[in-house]
Structure 1
């Protein structure tokens, strides 16, 4: 079951060269697991600006290229970075209608 949460998807496209370069530059794979998670979280929170992307379904690499995101798209980038660094994760979301 763990492997299911490490897979790459269309949105969680962590093999993208820009994502891989970021991971290498930040040296996240050299950190212990807890520090790695914390560093990735802080990066997405602090270094990716808040802003609305064109669509919630864009890929993590597009969020990174944009340099901004909102809760859903930042979540996609967060998942991609975690999975790329061998941290299994998933997001369970829903839509609220009036």
Structure 2
């Protein structure tokens, strides 16, 4: 499998250059890249599942935790920001509300999940707050509270809070409270997906079901986003 964080492609290089034009420090560059990945790449489930290159996510304009992490990783690498992807397992109830009925039952109990770590000013910082675009984040947070849930709609509130901000100095997260197992850091997601640690590898039945149901699942994502406060 070729590298999915294809940071040397012209598509990724040109987008990174346009986003960071005029920025000098790694912090300044990251502050430009982050809102683009969070908001311009809307949250949604691509037909290719996790196995989507960064350049393809740019073309699609949407992605989920793993594909958006792949994109942010590639953009950081293009800009010379030391970055790595950190994989874990996460409870499947993180997607409760979007996946329902048979689609939810077909999910593994634990899903492979990732976030990004960047080395900034001598320290590695964890970032997962790019996963949900801002309108979806606010709508999901309100939906969870109205249902009395702590986890679902791609958020894990934990103590009742979550963040959609770039928190480099005071870490805050969107999904970390639902993480169950650490699978370490990887240079490229393709290496993890080829390893025995990867849990989202579907059999033929699950792959066919996913492709049949993904349109309806993404429709639920869009419908929830529309409920966000103006």
**Structure 1 or 2: larger strand share?**
2
Give the equivalent residue in structure 2 for 1:65. Answer: 59
- TM value normalised by structure 1: 0.81
Give the equivalent residue in structure 2 for 1:14. Answer: 7
- TM value normalised by structure 2: 0.36
Distance 1:86 1:24 in 2: 11
Give the equivalent residue in structure 2 for 1:94. Answer: 88
Displacement of 1:25 in angstroms is 2.1
Displacement of 1:94 in angstroms is 2.4
1:4-36 deviations in whole A, cap 9, x for unaligned?
A: xxxxx611101111111212222x163122111
User: Gapped runs of 5+ residues in structure 1?
Assistant: 1-8
Structure 1 vs Structure 2 CA RMSD: 1.6
In the TM superposition, 1:33-72 aligns within 5 A as: 33-53=26-46, 54-72=48-66
Distance 2:84 2:7 in 1: 14
Give the equivalent residue in structure 2 for 1:83. Answer: 77
Distance 1:72 1:19 in 2: 17
User: Gapped runs of 5+ residues in structure 2?
Assistant: 91-107, 110-230
* Greater relative contact order (Cα < 8 A, sep 6+): 1
SS at match of 1:93: strand
8 Å CA contact 1:29, 1:85 repeated in 2: no
8 Å CA contact 2:43, 2:62 repeated in 1: yes
Query: Number of paired residues?
Result: 89
1:25-61 deviations in whole A, cap 9, x for unaligned?
A: 22x1631221111111111001111110122021111
**Structure 1 or 2: larger helix share?**
1
8 Å CA contact 1:44, 1:77 repeated in 2: yes
Structure with the greater alpha carbon radius of gyration: 2
**Would you identify which runs of 4 or more consecutive aligned residues in structure 1 move more than 6 Å?**
none
